[in-house]
Each structure stands twice: as C-alpha cells, then as structure tokens.
Structure 1
Amino acid sequence: MEPNKKKVLRKAPPKQSARMVETIYGCKWSLTVYRLLALEINRPGEMVRSVEGLSAKVLNECLRKNVEFGILERVSYNEIPPRVEYTVTKFGKKFLNVLEELEKLQDEIDQMNSQ
C-alpha cells in the first residue's frame, strides 16, 4: 500500500438507535400506542379500553420503555384522582418519522417480492 494513501476505517452501526428500533419493533404494542396517541387517546386507562387484548401491565411496560428512550413524555397531574397522560416528544417525532420510512421500505420490498 502506498504510504500517502488513506485507509478507510470500519463503519460501525449506530448502537443506541439500532437498539431502540429493535426494542420498539420487538414490543408488539408500541406501534399501536403511537396510533392511539395520533388519535389523541393519551391516558393509559383509555388506551387499555380502546384496544382489545391490551392489558394495563403490558401497556405500562411499553410506555415505560418509550419514556426511557425519550420517545414519549409522561405528564402527571396533581389531581384527585391522579391523572397521567403521555405525549410524543420532539425527539419522538423524529423517531416516528424513521419508523414511517422503514414501513415505506418494507412496502417496496413486499412489492418487489410479489412480482
């Protein structure tokens, strides 16, 4: 190899974002939660009542993961009875755009495979 020639370093995958996508797609309820939030259903009890087969325990675990990743924000109101709502963060909106692009890519793959 010539001494003045630059070497290309190995490109590593993005660790955190790849883990986020894997975790979100691994949770079968996250995409449903995003759809509920888009429909302005943002309270956990209302979410559970709106989706057949979704339990409060599973929903809370899903919401917790999304809050930890910074995709969702938990807003707790100091009321009696207590009221909690979830909203998509600014970062979460960017992340949801990435998921949308992945869905478009999957649609293209499906179309290619059906030909």
Structure 2
Amino acid sequence: MNTNEKIFSRKSAPERSARMVEAIYGCKWSLTVYQLLQNGKHRPGEMVKSVEGLSTKVLNECLRKNVEFGILQKNIYPEVPPRVEYEVTDFGQKFIRILDQLEQLQDEIERDNQSN
C-alpha cells in the first residue's frame, strides 16, 4: 500500500437537512407551532388565538415553509366555509425528535456551564 495514498475525503454537512434546521430555528414560531399541534390545535385560527403576538401573516409563512420541507401536511376540506388543518407528517415526527434532542443537548450544556 502506498503510504501517501489518501483514504478519506473532506466531509461536508448534509446540505438540505442543515438548511432545514437553520430555517426552522430561524423562524421563531416553528417550535411553537409544533407545540400547538401536539396540544390539538390544528387550525390556523385556533393557533393565532392561542398565542400572544402571533399574527395570521407570520403564521401562514411559517406553515408554508414547514409544508415545503415536508414537516407538516396541509389538509383542505371541501366545506363551506373551507376548513384547513395542519398535521405533522411521519418525516416531521422524525425531524421534531431531532430538534428535541438538540434542545436536550442545549440543556446539558447549560447545566455543565452552571456547575463550572
């Protein structure tokens, strides 16, 4: 074997998932939306009424971004007036578990910093 032969190539961050994490954490309302969904608030009107400072415009942008990433699914019911509800997809469940692990890691870091 040639000792000068390189056996490892440069490792890069996973582009799409890194962008997703950045976009979700960059949107200050996404984590709140996940919490609302977990607590049975699936309609945008319910969400806006449940959170002080959350506007319909900002919520719609946040929901749109989460649907584009495949974290949430938008369900439109053919009723009059139209009813729209959101739910977490299977992929979204996996993604939210990762975000929960990041939050646990942050808590651990903060505990370690307080004890030092």
The 2-side partners of 1:53 and 1:5 are apart by 58
RMSD: 1.4
Residue in 2 aligned with 1:110?
110
Query: What TM-score comes out, normalization by structure 2 length?
Result: 0.95
Query: Is structure 2 residue 28 aligned with structure 1 residue 8?
Result: no
Query: What TM-score comes out, normalization by structure 1 length?
Result: 0.96
Q: Deviations over 1:57-85 (max 9, x none)?
A: 00000000000000000000000000000
User: Which aligned segments of 4 or more residues in structure 1 are displaced greater than 3 angstroms?
Assistant: 3-6
Residue in 1 aligned with 2:55?
55
Structure 1 residue runs without a partner (length 5+): none
Residue in 2 aligned with 1:41?
41
Residue in 1 aligned with 2:85?
85
User: What is the total number of aligned residue pairs between the two structures?
Assistant: 115
Q: Percent identity?
A: 66
Structure 2 residue runs without a partner (length 5+): none
The 1-side partners of 2:100 and 2:48 are apart by 24
The 2-side partners of 1:3 and 1:46 are apart by 65
Residue in 1 aligned with 2:21?
21
